[in-house]
Amino acid sequence: MFSNTRITKAFKNAKKLKLSEQSKYILFSDCHRGDNSFADDFSHNRKIYHYALSHYLKENFTYIELGDGDELWENKFDAIFNANKDVYLLLKRFHEDKRLHFIWGNHDMEYRNPRNIVKNLHYYYDTTDDKEKELMIGASFSEAIRLESENNRSIFLLHGHQADWFNYSFWKLSRFLVRFLWRPLQVIGVKDPTSPAQNHRELIKVEKRLEKWIKKNDNQMIITGHTHRPRFPSINELPHFNDGSCVHPRCITGLEIENNLITLIKWHVQTNNDGIMQINKTVLEGPEMLSKHL
C-alpha cells in the first residue's frame, strides 16, 4: 500500500473532535517514555514534561498525544510505568476529565490491538499498599483524529509514519532491529539510519510524501510528529505543521490550539538572575489564526 493510500485511509477513518473558539488543545508527540536506563531519552525531560502537563491540566486543555508516547520497541510496559508512575497518574487525571486522546505511532503500534491497551493501561499494581488499582480504563487510541470546525474544514492529526513505508509496513522488523541492534549501539553513539528523526535524508522524504498528499487533498491542514522536527509554515506554504518531540536535548516542543489560534511552544529549564533554575514556556512561532491555514 502506497503512502498516499495509507494517509487517505487514516483520514477517512479518523476520530472526530469539535474545534471551536472555546476549544483548548495541547499537542505533544514522540515522548518515547522509557525505563530510565542509559537509552531512555525521555528521562532527561521527564520533569519538564510533567510540569508542562500539570499546567495544561490546570488550564483545562485537552491533551492529544500524536504517537510514540510509550517506547514499546525497546522496553516492556511494566518497566516504563515504574519509571514514569507520576506521569501516568497525571495522564489518568486528564482521562477522568475526558480530556485525553492518544494516537498510536510506529513505536507504540501495539496499541492498534485493543487487548494491549487493556493489558497496559487499564490497571496498575500499586506497591505502596500491594493493591491493583484503576489507571485509564477505556483509554482512547486512534490512528488519526480530525478536529472539525463549524465551516466544515478540519485539522488532520496523525503520527506521520504512514508516509514512512518501512516504519509502517515493516514495523515489527524495525522494532527487532532497534531492540537488538541499534539500542546497544546507541551507547557508543551510533544512530539508527532507519529513523527519520536521526536520518535527515529519510526525514525529507517523509515530509515530501506528506506534502504531496496535502496538495492532492485541497491543501488539507495537517499536524504530525514522527520526524521530531518542529514545523510552523508561513501563510504562503503548505499547511503542514509538526509538534516536534519531547526528547530534544534540553526541551520539549508542542502545539497549542486556543481561541482559534495555533502556537508552537517549547518548555525548558532556565536560570534566573538569582541563579535559581525554573521551568518556563517560550513561544517559538505564532500565535496565528487557524483560519489562515484551514
Bridge partners of residue 53, in order along the sequence: none
Q: Is the pLDDT of residue 255 over 80?
A: yes
Confidence band, pLDDT 50/70/90 cuts, at residue 98: very high
The per-residue pLDDT for range 145-168, each reduced to its tens digit, is 999 998 889 999 999 999 875 666
CB 242 within 8 A of CB 223: yes
Stretch 80-89: mean pLDDT, rounded? 97
Per cent of the chain over pLDDT 70 is 87
The per-residue pLDDT for range 32-55, each reduced to its tens digit, is 999 998 889 999 999 999 999 999
* Cell representation of residue 228: 521530531
The per-residue pLDDT for range 162-193, each reduced to its tens digit, is 987 566 654 566 665 666 555 565 555 555 55
Instruction: Evaluate the CA torsion angle 184, 190, 194, 198 in order and state its sign.
Output: positive
d(CA 53, CA 135): 17
Instruction: Evaluate the CA torsion angle 71, 76, 77, 81 in order and state its sign.
Output: negative
pLDDT on residue 198? 60
3-class DSSP assignment, residue 69: coil
